[in-house]
Amino acid sequence: MKENKNIKIVEPRDSVDIHLPDGRILSGPRGGSAGDFLMAAGENPNKPIVAAVVNGDLRELSYPIEIESRLSAVNMSTADGARIYRRSLTFLLEFAFQQLFSKGKLTIDHSVSSGGYYCQVSGREMLTAEELEMLQKRMQAEVADDRPFVREEIPLQEAIQYFESLGHLDKVNLLAHRKKDYLTLYRLGEHMDYHHGYMVPSTGYLRWFDLEAFDGGFALRFPRRHKPMELLPMRRYPQLLDAFRRYGDWLTKLGIDNVGALNNAVISGREQEIVLVSEAFHEQHITDIAQQIASRRADLRLILIAGPSSSGKTTFSRRLTVQLLALGISPFPLELDNYFVDRVNTPRDEYGEMDFEVLETLNLPLLAEHLQKMILGERVQMPHYNFITGISEPGEEIQVQQDQLIILEGIHGMNPRLLPGALHGQAFRIFVSALTQLNLDRHNRVSTTDTRLIRRIVRDARERGYSAKDTISRWESVRRGEKRHIFPFQENADHMFNSALAYELAALKPYAEPLLRQVPHGTPEYIEAKRLLAFLQWFLPLNADLVPENSLAREFLGGSVLRKFKWWQGDRL
């Protein structure tokens, strides 16, 4: 082979070249931070940068760049950027709270739809308005001082001893099953804690937040992604808050209110107990809903079931049907998908693409006409939507019996425009979603969005042959549709069903991890897959054979006895 004379050994340069997404190349000192290079690149000031992607890996802004690299910014309008900002803000809140109220315990609980986390205080009285204002001013002072968040790796046993000395048993239990022999802690002044994921470099980045008294606790408010420098007006959500509290109280009674406690239960051989009690909680809740419907039977003709992707709507609706049958009520399932307009008439989004999530994808006048006729006991020729041709075709002719309830399951079930006004009072609305989940500890939330994504990755691989990369790539679009068309109407529900199961992530872990490991490095989906893998490491696996065949978890794990369950009592003509 001919020698290439242009290749030779040289002394290392003091500088490195940085390749930006727009084709520009920066040259700067070797070892310079990713943040310094991005500052030199002059990024958009309306989308504050909080992290970077260096050669396909998510990195903190303090990350030193030692070799020629591809570099792109992660700002607060991205999913990763929003997580980093909120995580850092949570640490700042925790620090300020500990400084002012050292005898109290702060718990970061569920999310607030307008942008925020609901926080609770135990070990002392609820914070007064004056104390909450004092807490906010302490946080603002730290932001003004722009103090650094210091990242430190310490031996695992040393970390466990540190948290034991503080009485943080939830963290001690979590760390007891950690496989790695070290732990990354963040320090602000003398205060240290573990937070699952990266941080901004310093408190000065955390300019947009507020604290607001809220239903027995307070909300730590932060910007939403689409307006990263603005706090949206606070909305009340009594239905959702009631669902959060019901599940939280149940977890406390069960003695498994964090992941460390779940892992201890698995290790001690209590797996079956946890599964059975969790399933009994679901069954009891579904039975309660069926009895509520039965108590209003004289006024109801419709049951509307809605919820976001991978919330378990299908299994829930079938289990509800079983409970209604046990009460002598015969439901008729109506598939909303058959009421799609012809594909050529599908509305377009702001990018000119077909938007299959908006309400107007349904033929609303035809749906209203058919519902009114069915309720009167008249014969109706159903439409049948051909997903291959994209055309609505004539379907079967049906006649619903006068004593039957019609069940409609679909994402728009809570939208008041779905039904004509005359039918509103005859409908019982149920919102289904994984509303709450076990948290890692008092300061590290588990996002229910992550729970639903892991559910979907496992189900898509089994039922549709999709890779984890495929599912992750579609998830952002799915979430955008949920935020626009589902969550704004969730408080219209007569009842909310929390489809989360205390044990489910431990059961899904052995199925999800191999799929996530197949996502190729260098792809946009790799960063998300790596994050989910790091998150799942905190769970000990639970034997999925213990999960009952009618469990909602079986919709995602596979093996559901309800998969082919159909109930029909009426006339097909």
* Full DSSP string of 67-110: S-EEEEEEETTSHHHHHHHHHHHHHHHHHHHHHH-TTSEEEEEE
Residues 6+ away with beta carbon under 8 Å from 174: 258, 259, 260, 263, 440, 441, 538
Cα(208)–Cα(77) distance, rounded to whole angstroms? 13
What is each CA distance from 58 to 20, 54, 98, 523, in whole angstroms? 15, 6, 30, 12
Our CA dihedral for 32, 33, 39, 42, rounded to 10 degrees, sits at: 80
pLDDT at residue number 569: 52
Q: Residue 294 corresponds to which tokens in the numbers above? A: 């039965």
Q: What is residue 548's DSSP assignment?
A: -
- The closest of 292, 291, 328, 132 to 217, measured between CA atoms, is 132
pLDDT at residue number 568: 57
Q: Residue 211 corresponds to which tokens in the numbers above? A: 């604290």
Residues of the chain below pLDDT 70: 1, 567-573
pLDDT at residue number 1: 67
pLDDT at residue number 185: 96
Domains in the chain, CATH or no CATH each = 15-75 (3.10.20.30), 81-221 (3.30.980.10), 238-330+403-564 (3.40.50)
- The closest of 331, 334, 338 to 395, measured between CA atoms, is 338
Amino acid at 383: P
Cα(322)–Cα(314) distance, rounded to whole angstroms? 13
Alpha-carbon 215 to chain mean position = 22
pLDDT at residue number 567: 65
pLDDT at residue number 212: 94
pLDDT at residue number 35: 95
H or E segment and range at residue 18: strand 15-19
Q: Residue 228 corresponds to which tokens in the numbers above? A: 């990263």
Residues 6+ away with beta carbon under 8 Å from 21: 72
What strand order describes the sheet that includes 15-19? 25-29, 15-19, 69-75, 49-54, 57-59
Burial status of residue 128 (CB atoms within 10 A of its CB: 0-12, 13-18, 19 or more): exposed
Task: Break the chain down into helix, strand, coil percent, rounded to 5.
Answer: 40, 20, 35
Amino acid at 544: A
pLDDT at residue number 112: 82
| CA atoms within 13 A of residue 108's CA, in its CB half-sphere | 27
Cα(573)–Cα(571) distance, rounded to whole angstroms? 6
Neighbouring CB atoms inside 10 A of 3's CB total 6
pLDDT at residue number 3: 75
